[in-house]
A and B are shown apart, each in its own frame.
Chain A
Amino acid sequence: MSVQAEKLADKLADAKLADVGNRAAAPRKGRRLRAFLRNPTFVAGVIILSFFVLLALFADVLFPGDPLDMVGPPVLWPGENAEFPLGTDSLGRDVLAGLVHGARASLLVGLSAAAIGLAIGMVVGAAAGFFGGWIDTLLMRVVELFQTTPTFLLVVVIVAIGEPTMQTIALAIGIASWPTVARLVRAQFRSLREADFVMAARSLGYSNLRIIAQEILPNALPPVIVAASVMIANAILTEAGLSFLNMRDPNLVSWGGMIGAGRDLLRTAWFLTALPGVAIAAAVLSLNLVGDGLNEILNPRSEP
């Protein structure tokens, strides 16, 4: 029954589309924005995420000085000392300062890893999906090669080969995550390249590059944008995992690093692991919420 109801809804949506013809169109941008604001999932995600972004941006203002400095007595519980509202760790470092600065490191790793993954994945996926044939076969074998290796293991190996700096870690996560994007983009391109409007572009004599960039890519982007938010979340998680294994940039605080450092005191001072854990969970959740919201909003069916 629900299938039929859905079909009817589709039909009606089409019929409504056909109806809008003569009405003057409201400015497209304004309508888009309203669609964003009407989506509670998306708004919730954006609020949490902006909170972390603001922390990251103003970390130096809020907590000047190196968060790795010892500033107080070791293992102060939250609330024990007003100067350190969230306590201090085993080396007497301010946990709150660590969390705030850690937001910067975690988001930065997440963003740059996702950017690297997207860049490689989109180029490979677009080429494979658009051209098909032997190019597709070849590129997809490479993708499979990467996908059969466990992601985390791959990251560990790459970081172990290089220095454990932020750049290496981001690069490693990016390299390990592009195959997902490539598959997604390839699937989009394969279906879109058969679309009538792409046929029309070819019949107008457009070059392949123009067809890829101007006709197909803008239509292929929505699911990629959604995937990107999840990729950032995954990158943050992977970085945390690496830090836990002590593969972290020794000169920077990150949430994962804080969890790793608090591990030894898990029984006596569990808040040292719990607080950065909550931060990671909240950040990942917000990114997923944003992703879900984007998915609903960017879905062409729901477009006004």
Chain B
Amino acid sequence: MSLLAVENLTVAFPGHVAVREVSFAIEPGETLALVGESGCGKSVTAFSMMRLLPPNARVVTGRILLDGADLMAASPAEMREVRGKKISLIQQEPMTSLNPVLSIGTQIGEVIRRHEKVSRRTARARCIELLDLVSIPDAHRRIDDYPHNLSGGMRQRVMIAMAVACGPKLLIADEPTTALDVTTQAQVLDLLDDLRRRLSMAVLLITHDLGVVAQWADRINVMYAGRIVEQAAIRPFFAQPMHPYSRGLLGARVDVDADEHYSASRLSEIPGSVGSAAGEAGCPFAPRCPMVETSCRVVPPSLLAFEAGRRVACPVSLQAVTLEAARHG
């Protein structure tokens, strides 16, 4: 059984629908990437899983099954037990996610004591272990530091320590390295990967960076305008992205490996912006899509199975790929 399954989730805000009919599952111990641009609904999906949506949001349909139990039906008290203990969250901005007037030891200790009946002293000892675990040097001295004494990367390590303090089964990392420098990013993502193995937890990695996905995730879900448009394992995805949006995203990225220069080649761009989708009846990507056909503008395509573990919400592209394969083989 999957660790966590999101089934047919639709979340609406006054005036717009942020997440539409999203379904996916996370297996124990894997890293699943949720990829998309700002406003695509990836963060709303994550916050729904924690039941931390803002008050003006409304879950229209959908279930979120954690070990078979529906979180949408859980009481607030039950949810508080889930948060931090079974599912925990780290966010993009380590500057504002920590309370500036409390020492990091106090803040991590609070999380431990919130979920487990342990003495202050035990909590402190655990806290030092955790800081060690996230590779903060001199943990026994650092524990009394305040957030402003720490660099951005160190703060993110503290956030990770807090998140894994009670051994969650699932860690949601919402753009964990976007605010960090590239050399720090590699360190933090390696740390997350290492912790995932050692603590046998699953990671839901929310990011817009396909390079991060290629290097640190096992499977990928691509979101566009509130919908999942492609689900795949990492290798097949990067070998052959199937949805036109996935292809566009990969093509628009300046890659380290590709020897491109402006004097020789133009970057391929996706025309228009996400806003172009507003008010469209059919596929949300249709106004920007290079392969668009008239049928695309009628109903939004649902996810179609292509091969094991791979689903794509684009019949046009699927057909093209199938034809191509038939011609070659």
Chain A interface main SS type? helix
Q: How large is the interface on B (under 10, 10 to 19, 20 to 34, 35 or more residues)?
A: 20 to 34
**Quick check: B275 and A4 within 8 Å, CB to CB?**
no
* Separation of A9 and B56 alpha carbons in the complex (Å): 9
Determine how close the nearest CB of chain A comes to the CB of B91; give it in whole angstroms. Answer: 7
Q: B309 in the interface, Cβ–Cβ < 8 Å?
A: no
Query: Which residue of B50, B54, B91, B278 is within 8 Å of A9 (Cβ)?
Result: B54
Say whether A8 contacts B53, CB under 8 Å: yes
Interface segment, A19-27, A111-119, A141-149? A19-27
Q: Assess whether B54 is in contact with A8, with CB atoms less than 8 Å apart.
A: yes
Q: Give the complex CA separation of A7 and B203 in angstroms.
A: 22
Q: Is B329's beta carbon under 8 Å from chain A?
A: no
Contact partner of B275 among A7, A14, A20, CB < 8 A? A20
Report the tally of A-B residue pairs with Cβ distances under 8 A: 58
B18 touches A12 (CB 8 A): yes
**1/0 per residue B302-328: CB within 8 Å of A?**
000000000000000000000000000
Q: Contact between A12 and B13 (Cβ–Cβ < 8 Å)?
A: yes
CA distance A58 to B18 in the complex (A): 54
B44 touches A12 (CB 8 A): yes
Contact, CB under 8 Å: B275 / A12: no
B44 with A21: CB separation less than 8 A: no
B24 contacts chain A at the CB level, 8 A cutoff = no
Across-interface contacts of A11 in B (CB, < 8 A): 38, 43
A4 cross-chain contacts in B, Cβ below 8 A: 47, 50, 52, 89, 91
Q: Is A18 an interface residue (CB 8 A)?
A: yes
Would you give the shortest CB distance from B277 to chain A, in whole angstroms?
Answer: 9
| 13 CB < 8 A contacts A-B | A1-B52, A4-B89, A5-B53, A9-B54, A9-B56, A11-B38, A12-B13, A16-B15, A16-B39, A18-B38, A20-B275, A22-B276, A23-B278
10 nearest CB pairs, A to B: A15-B39, A9-B54, A22-B275, A5-B54, A21-B275, A19-B275, A4-B52, A8-B47, A8-B54, A15-B38
Binding site for B on A (CB under 8 A): 1, 4-9, 11-12, 14-16, 18-23
Chain B residues within 8 Å of A, Cβ to Cβ: 13, 15-16, 18, 38-39, 43-44, 47, 50, 52-56, 83, 89, 91, 96, 272-276, 278
